[in-house]
Amino acid sequence: MAFLMILPSIIAIAIFVYGFIGWTAFVSLTAWTGIKPDFTFVGLDNYVTVFGNGRFQTNMRNTVVFTAFFLVTCLVLGMLLAVMVDSRVKGEPFFRSVYLFPMAISFIVTGVAWRWIFTPGSVPNDPTGVNLLLQRAGLGFLQSNWIADNRVIPDWYPDWSKTKLGVPMAMVPVIIAAVWQMSGFTMAMYLAGLRGISEEIKEAARVDGCDELGVFRYVTLPLLRPVTLSAVVILGHISMKIFDLVVSMTNGGPGNATEVPGLYMYTQVFSANKIAQGAAVAMIMLVLVALLIVPYLRSSVSKEVE
């Protein structure tokens, strides 16, 4: 009886998640290019092509850069906001709501707004967006081409790589927009963690001679480690899948400087008709996400059972 009630959902998930993943995996091993399906088996050829491809290497570089900066900034800012909100200053609910509201809007809205903020205009005399603000503040030397900046810093180009290694400068505005959207969520996670730490433990540390900084360093921070782990997993998997925000802010440009695997897969399959190669990219994304999520999922569910 019980099983009957969840059967429709089980069938739907079995087909639309696991069946479809299996089918994508199969397609990634075929020669399917063009409108008409072509299931000639080619083994791992598509993966070899994709990994050897400069454009996909650029994608991977961007994912690494995006993930690193996005994660660290979100964690630091989220922790800072949580500690500030937790200190119960006046107007705390207001500030908490302000920090969290970007979570309720679409990445596309975020992208449209931030794209305009980071549209450079003509530097230095006729700037727009943030460049205009910098000019008015007398900080004109900080002006930059932002989303149109095609520099890669430090522009390291070793023999084994088919792409310039470093931070693509046009990615910086995208990271800022992503942090704007997601750091409130990190704050909410840390806030829940902070509120779970009993006052007695902190008091005990104070009795032992810790000052407030010491309490934070030796009591609060270690107790927040599980929250940090959760945040790393959740934010990390989001950044591996990031798509909407990149599409609406840079659409992968200038050139392919800010393209990410999710966008590359989309253009391969739905514009270039390289279905099998797109499927291979999708499978690589899935494996990366699974490596992060599966251990986390298993530990979460088994902990609950105890």
174 lies in the binding site for other proteins (CB under 8 A): no
Q: Site residues for other proteins, window 33-92 (CB under 8 A)?
A: 77, 81, 84, 89
- CA dist 228 and 198 (Å) reads 18
Q: What would the two tokens of residue 234 be?
A: 């959740």
Taking the complex as a whole, the smallest distance from the CB of residue 208 to other proteins amounts, in Å, to: 29
**Binding span for other proteins by CB under 8 A among 66-74, 99-107, 197-205, 217-225:** 99-107
Q: What would the two tokens of residue 142 be?
A: 């900080």
CA distances from 268 to 112, 171, 280 (A): 24, 21, 10
Residue type, 249: M
Q: Which of 67, 185, 274, 277 binds other proteins (CB under 8 A)?
A: 185
Burial level of 61, CB count in 10 A (0-12/13-18/19+)? Answer: buried
Contacts of 280 (CB under 8 A, 6+ apart): 28, 46, 47, 49, 50
Q: Which of 201, 211, 255, 298 binds other proteins (CB under 8 A)?
A: 298
27 lies in the binding site for other proteins (CB under 8 A): yes
196 lies in the binding site for other proteins (CB under 8 A): no
**By C-beta, is 101 or 218 nearer to other proteins?**
101
Taking the complex as a whole, the smallest distance from the CB of residue 151 to other proteins amounts, in Å, to: 23
Contacts of 57 (CB under 8 A, 6+ apart): 51, 161, 162, 163
**By C-beta, is 159 or 306 nearer to other proteins?**
306
Strand partners, 156: 165
Taking the complex as a whole, the smallest distance from the CB of residue 225 to other proteins amounts, in Å, to: 12
Taking the complex as a whole, the smallest distance from the CB of residue 55 to other proteins amounts, in Å, to: 16
